Amino acid sequence: MEQIIENIKKQFTLSDVTTAHGTYITCEKKDTVSLLTYLKDVEGFKHLVLITAVDWIEDNKFQLTYLLNSPKLKTELGVRTFIERSVWPEESEMQSAHHLWPAAKTYQRELHEMFGIDFPGSPEINDPLILEWWDDIPPYRRDFDTKKYSEETYYPREGRSTNDPSDYMKDQLYPREGEKNA
Amino acid sequence: MDGFSYNKILFAALTIFFTINYGLILQGIIGKIYARVGRRIGIRLFQPYFNIIRQWATRSAISHGVMYYLGPVFRFTGGAGILIFTPLILDAPLFNSFTYAGDVVLVSYFIFLGTLGMALGGGEAGHPYSAIAVTRGLAQTAAFEISLMLAIYSIAVQYNTISITEIIRAQQGGVLNWTLFTNPIATAAAMLAFLGSMMRSPFDVVLAPQEIPVGPPTEYQSQFLAMLMTNRTIFPVAKTVLYVNLFFGGVALYDSYLLTFVVFFLKTFFVYLWSVFVGVSFPRFRVDQSIRFFIKWPLLIGVIAVVAANIRY
Amino acid sequence: MAKMNYKKRWADLEKRIVVSPEGEEFEVDPMQDYFCDAKPRVHPPNKIAPLEKFANWCRAESIYILGFGTGCGAIEMRPLSSAMYDAYRFGVNWRATPRQATVFVIGGYASVKTMKRIVRSYEQMQGPKFVLGLCSCTINGGMYWDSYNTVNRLDHYIPVDVYITGCMPRPEALLDAIDQLKKRIKSGRAEGQNKYAENFEWYKANQKKIIKNWDMPDYSW
User: pLDDT for A102-140, tens place per residue?
Assistant: 999 999 999 998 998 999 888 888 878 888 778 788 899
Residue of B nearest to C84 (CA): B40
Q: Could you tell me if residue B116 is inside a domain? A: yes
Chains that touch A (3 or more CB pairs under 8 A): C
Selection from A89, A88, A99, A92 nearest residue A121 by Cα: A99
Number of Cβ within 10 Å of residue B313's Cβ equals 11
Instruction: Please report, rounded to a whole number, the percentage of residues in chain A having pLDDT higher than 70.
Output: 97
Q: Could you tell me if residue B23 is inside a domain? A: yes
Residue C34: predicted pLDDT = 61
Q: Could you tell me if residue C85 is inside a domain? A: yes
Work out how many domains chain C is built from and give that number.
1
Q: Could you tell me if residue B1 is inside a domain? A: no
Q: Could you tell me if residue B91 is inside a domain? A: yes
Q: Could you tell me if residue C6 is inside a domain? A: no
* Domain of B57, in residue numbers: 7-312
* Domain of C138, in residue numbers: 51-210
ipTM comes to 0.83
Give pairs for A2-6: CB < 8 Å, separation 24+.
Answer: A4/A43, A4/A77
What is the distance of C-alpha B192 from the center of its chain? Answer: 13
Rounded average pLDDT over B251-265:
87
- How many B/C residue pairs have CB atoms within 8 Å? 90
Letter string b/e over residues C26-65, b meaning 16 or more CB atoms within 10 A of that residue's CB: eeeebeeebeeeeeeeebebeeeeeeeeebbbbbbbbbbb
Rounded average pLDDT over B195-207:
81
Number of Cβ within 10 Å of residue B202's Cβ equals 18
Q: Could you tell me if residue C164 is inside a domain? A: yes
Q: For residues A10 and B312, what is the distance between their CA atoms, to the nearest angstrom?
A: 91
Can you give the pLDDT of all 221 residues of chain C as single tens digits?
344 444 445 556 667 777 777 777 877 776 666 666 778 889 888 889 999 999 999 999 999 998 888 888 888 888 888 888 989 999 998 888 888 899 999 988 888 889 988 998 898 898 899 999 988 889 888 888 888 888 888 999 999 999 999 888 999 999 999 999 999 999 988 899 999 999 999 998 898 888 877 766 665 54
Work out how many domains chain B is built from and give that number.
1
Q: For residues C48 and C56, what is the distance between their CA atoms, to the nearest angstrom?
A: 12
Contact assessment for residue B20 and residue B230, using Cβ atoms and an 8 Å cutoff? yes
Measured between CB atoms, which of A90, A146, A160 is closest to C147?
A: A146
- CB spacing of A93 vs C2 below 8 angstroms: yes
Q: Could you tell me if residue B214 is inside a domain? A: yes
User: What is the distance in angstroms between the Cα of C46 and the nearest Cα belonging to chain B?
Assistant: 9
Q: Could you tell me if residue C65 is inside a domain? A: yes
Contact assessment for residue C127 and residue C157, using Cβ atoms and an 8 Å cutoff? no
* Residues of chain A that touch chain C, judged by Cβ-Cβ distance less than 8 Å: 86, 89-93, 116, 118, 120, 126-128, 130-135, 139, 144, 146-147, 149-151, 153-157, 159-160
More confident residue, C33 or B227: B227
Question: What is the band of B214 on the pLDDT scale with cuts at 50, 70, 90?
Answer: low
Chain A interface includes C116 (CB < 8 A): yes
CATH of the domain at C175: 3.40.50.12280
Three-class secondary structure assignment of chain B: CCCCCCHHHHHHHHHHHHHHHHHHHHHHHHHHHHHHHCCCCCCCCCHHHHHHHHHHCCCCCCCCCHHHHHHHHHHHHHHHHHHHHCCCCECCCCCCCCCCCCHHHHHHHHHHHHHHHHHHHHHHHCCHHHHHHHHHHHHHHHHHHHHHHHHHHHHHHHHCCCCHHHHHHHCCCCHHHCHHHHCHHHHHHHHHHHHHHCCCHHHCHHHCCCCCCCCHHHHCCHHHHHHHHHHHHHHHHHHHHHHHHHHCCCCECCCCHHHHHHHHHHHHHHHHHHHHHHHHHCCCCCHHHHHHHHCCHHHHHHHHHHHHHHHHC
Q: What are phi and psi of A134, to 5 degrees?
A: -80, 130
The CATH number of A2-154 is 3.30.460.80
Measured between CB atoms, which of C4, C146, C212 is closest to A91?
A: C4
What is the distance of C-alpha C18 from the center of its chain? Answer: 32
